[in-house]
């Protein structure tokens, strides 16, 4: 393994240790968040209030010395409240752009499904292309740019479902869930005097993260593994229980996520298990089932497991 790869792994481990000191008992979820960050993707965290979603994101921003902005979404939020607005100065007879909170490295869109669909759509350009357009002028976002959105379950009052076009732009969707009894007891003791995030120290910089993102793209994926990944994607479009399968954007997202996860696992090559592990988090929110399948008790998770069983796993790989 090359020296730069070993250095990357050490940086990632320090960030992971930071996050685990603030969010106890969520090692797998923290690895998923780091995977998305290294792959340059955005994350949707869906969970009930109070499970630590905001603390996790703030801890990540503090750990990498990133510019951090938070948007509290609500029905009154306007698109310009996110992107910014051009203000006319009569004395100089010019319009001056006042950037909104989206001009940052890490953007937390808290309770995104409480914003109206028009406001949610204001995020699409930034999520996909890394820039925004205001009054015909294009403004590049700081790099790296990572958007993390939190969402309450859709059966809560005062929420709006995210459109499929926006869901497809999130690389991953997952939940934190409640801690177990032992972890919750430990959480009480660790926060009895001061919250761990108050004592958190940065362990990396945004420049380092940007460099690791570039190197993560160079992680090797064998042709057989790439064929295995594409077969899974195509099977989601042909499965009888699935109404809407994974898009080509989902294919690229799974490739990038698998490479980043391999690096997180201290490897410079992707294996099929990386793809099988990540697929539910990368593809789950992009797949729609037929109403008949849902009535028969099928779930996205169970259908994906069926897909995995139908696709042959490659045996011999080149590293």
Distance CA 263, CA 35 (A): 9
For 3-212, CATH number? 3.40.50.300
pLDDT in tens, the chain (319 residues): 555 778 888 999 999 999 988 888 888 999 999 999 999 999 998 877 777 788 888 889 999 988 899 998 888 888 888 888 888 888 877 888 888 899 999 999 888 888 887 888 788 888 888 888 887 788 888 888 999 988 876 555 666 677 777 788 899 999 887 877 787 778 777 765 667 777 788 888 899 999 999 999 999 999 999 999 999 999 999 888 888 888 999 999 999 999 999 999 989 899 999 999 999 999 989 988 888 888 888 888 888 998 998 888 887 655 5
> Which residue ranges does the chain devote to CATH 3.40.50.300?
3-212
pTM: 0.87
- Look up residue 123 and give its two tokens: 């995020």
- Pick from 203, 127, 214: nearest CA to 163: 127
Q: Which two tokens stand for residue 31?
A: 């690895």
Give the separation between CA 16 and CA 23, rounded to whole angstroms: 10
CATH number for the domain whose boundaries are 219-310: 1.10.8.80
Say if CB 190 and CB 24 are below 8 A apart: yes
Residues of the chain with CATH 1.10.8.80: 219-310
Number of Cβ within a 10 Å radius of residue 154: 11
């Amino acid at each position: 393994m090359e020296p730069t790869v070993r250095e990357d792994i050490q940086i990632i481990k320090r960030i992971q240790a930071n996050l685990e000191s603030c969010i106890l008992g969520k090692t797998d979820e923290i690895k998923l968040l780091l995977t998305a960050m290294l792959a340059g993707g955005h994350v949707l965290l869906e969970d009930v209030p109070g499970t630590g979603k905001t603390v996790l994101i703030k801890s990540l921003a503090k750990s990498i010395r990133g510019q951090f902005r938070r948007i509290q979404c609500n029905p009154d939020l306007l698109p310009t409240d996110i992107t910014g607005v051009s203000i006319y100065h009569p004395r100089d007879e010019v319009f001056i752009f006042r950037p909104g909170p989206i001009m940052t490295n890490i953007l937390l869109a808290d309770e995104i499904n409480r914003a109206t669909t028009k406001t949610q759509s204001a995020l699409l350009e930034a999520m996909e292309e890394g820039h925004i357009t205001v009054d015909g002028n294009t403004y590049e976002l700081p790099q790296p740019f990572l958007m993390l959105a939190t969402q309450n379950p859709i059966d809560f009052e005062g929420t709006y479902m995210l459109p499929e076009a926006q869901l497809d732009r999130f690389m991953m969707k997952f939940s934190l869930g409640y801690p177990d009894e032992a972890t919750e007891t430990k959480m009480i003791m660790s926060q009895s005097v001061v919250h761990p995030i108050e004592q958190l120290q940065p362990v990396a910089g945004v420049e380092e993260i940007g460099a690791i993102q570039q190197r993560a793209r160079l992680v090797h994926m064998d042709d057989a593994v790439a064929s295995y990944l594409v077969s899974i994607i195509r099977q989601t479009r042909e499965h009888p229980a699935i109404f809407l399968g994974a898009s080509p954007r989902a294919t690229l997202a799974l490739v990038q996520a698998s490479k980043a996860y391999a690096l997180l696992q201290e490897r410079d090559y992707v294996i099929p298990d990386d793809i099988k592990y990540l697929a539910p988090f990368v593809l789950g929110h992009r797949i729609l089932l037929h109403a008949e399948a849902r009535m028969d008790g099928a779930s996205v998770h169970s259908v994906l497991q069926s897909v995995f069983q139908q696709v042959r796993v490659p045996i011999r790989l080149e590293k």
